[in-house]
Amino acid sequence: MGKGIAIALGVAFALAGCNKGDDGAAARAKAAAEAKAFAAHEAPYRKERIDGLLAPEGWTTLVGLHWLERGSHYAGRAPNNGIHLAKGPANLGMFDVSPKGLVRFVPAKGLALTLDGQPLQGAIVMRTDQDEGGASKLGFDDGKGVATVIVRGDRTALRVKHADAEARTQFAGLQWWPGGASWVVPGKFVPHEAGRTVQIVNIINQVEQVPNPGLVEFQRDGKTYRLEAIDEGEPTLFLVFADRTSGHGSYPAGRYMDIARPDAKGNVTLDFNRAYNPPCAFTAYATCPMPPAANRLDLAIAAGERAYAKH
Give residue 153's pLDDT.
86
* Alpha helices in 130-225, H assignment, sequence order: 166-169
CB burial readout 175-208, b (16+ within 10 A) else e:
ebbebbeebebebbbeeeeeeeebebebbeeeee
Tell me the pLDDT tens digit for each residue of 171-222. 999 999 999 999 999 999 999 999 999 999 999 899 999 999 999 999 999 9
Residue 36 three-state SS: helix
Cα–Cα dist 280/59, whole Å: 9
Q: What angle do CA 117, 58, 172 make, to 5 degrees?
A: 145
pLDDT at 8 over 60: no
11 pLDDT above the threshold of 70: no
d(CA 307, CA 311): 8
Instruction: Report the C-alpha gap between 151 and 174 in whole angstroms.
Output: 30
Residue 70 has φ and ψ, to the nearest 5°, of -60, 145
- CA dist 92 → 84, 123, 164, 241, 261 (Å): 10, 12, 17, 39, 43
Tens-digit pLDDT profile for residues 238-296: 999 999 999 999 999 999 999 999 999 999 999 999 999 999 999 999 999 999 999 99
* 59-169 to CATH, choices 3.90.420.10, 3.30.70.240, 2.60.200.20, 2.40.30.60: 2.60.200.20
Calpha distance 209→150 (Å, rounded): 17
Helix (H) or strand (E) holding 8: helix 2-53
Tell me the C-alpha to C-alpha distance, in Å, between residue 154 and each of 62, 94, 127, 150, 206: 22, 22, 16, 11, 9
The DSSP-derived string for 131-158 is STT----EEETTTTEEEEEEEETTEEEE
Helix (H) and strand (E) counts in the chain: 2, 19
Q: How many CB atoms within 10 Å of residue 51?
A: 10
Share of the chain above pLDDT 90, in %: 86
Q: Where are the domains of the chain?
A: 59-169, 181-295
| 18 pLDDT more than 70 | no
The pTM of this model reads: 0.86
